Chains A and B, each alone.
Chain A
Amino acid sequence: NAGVTQTPKFQVLKTGQSMTLQCAQDMNHEYMSWYRQDPGMGLRLIHYSVGAGITDQGEVPNGYNVSRSTTEDFPLRLLSAAPSQTSVYFCASSYSFSNQPQHFGDGTRLSIL
């Protein structure tokens, strides 16, 4: 039981490049989400999904795209990377979205030059 697995752990991109951050969970959780963590700020929700085929925007969705084709996977795509997207990205999952503790991966540290 690996929990929530994020890849890659580190990535450096140039402005304008695109990439996909991978997230996979093996707990059969319906709810998955992406957060970003920046210095001096709390974790902020980017996108979330309440089940396969269903996604919606969080607080800071601009510049990011998601899809959920399976229960296990929830990739986050950066369409055209900008320096403002330099951050640590965390994927989380829970059994449901209602008052259930979320289980987090160990993050992807992304730098945009």
Chain B
Amino acid sequence: EDQVTQSPEALRLQEGESSSLNCSYTVSGLRGLFWYRQDPGKGPEFLFTLYSAGEEKEKERLKATLTKKESFLHITAPKPEDSATYLCAVQASGGSNYKLTFGKGTLLTVNP
């Protein structure tokens, strides 16, 4: 069974204090790993897709990396507007490739 574990559950940072969020996954074969951002009362907003170990993607202050067992979302010099819940999801390449398996998310709070 595909599994996704995100850590920490919650992270509080000061503005400008860089950190990383972790997404560990177990999947029979990885078709893609997705990062989403979710604001309160809104649906998840797509950030990145990673397909193979060693791949990196960047967008503004965010950088996502992928290994064979985990992905990291690095946040450099965060601002209060980066506060949100960050979700990680995997899509398998095998029989369950019709769905995304989501982690429970990391709630990030950035204080000014």
Name A's B-contacting residues (CB within 8 A). Answer: 4, 33, 40-45, 48, 50, 56, 58-59, 90, 92, 97-99, 101-107
Contacts and interface: CB of A to CB of B under 8 A. Distances in A.
Interface in B30-57: 31-32, 34, 36, 41-46, 49, 51
Interface of B: 4, 31-32, 34, 36, 41-46, 49, 51, 87, 89, 91, 97-105
Given A50-B98, A97-B97, A101-B34, A43 B49 contact: no
Given A42-B4, A56-B98, A107-B42, 12 more contacts: A4-B43, A42-B87, A42-B105, A43-B44, A43-B89, A45-B99, A48-B98, A90-B43, A98-B91, A99-B32, A99-B51, A104-B44
Nearest to B34: A101
Which of B43, B101, B105 gathers most chain A CB within 10 Å? B43
Which of B97, B100, B103 gathers most chain A CB within 10 Å? B100
Contacts of A40: 104
State the 10 A-B residue pairs at the shortest beta-carbon distance, nearest first.
A104-B43, A42-B102, A99-B32, A101-B46, A43-B102, A45-B99, A104-B44, A99-B31, A106-B43, A42-B104
A11 to B, nearest CB: 15
B49 A45 contact: no
Contacts, number: 58
B46 A103 contact: yes
A50 B46 CA distance: 20
Contacts of A45: 99-100
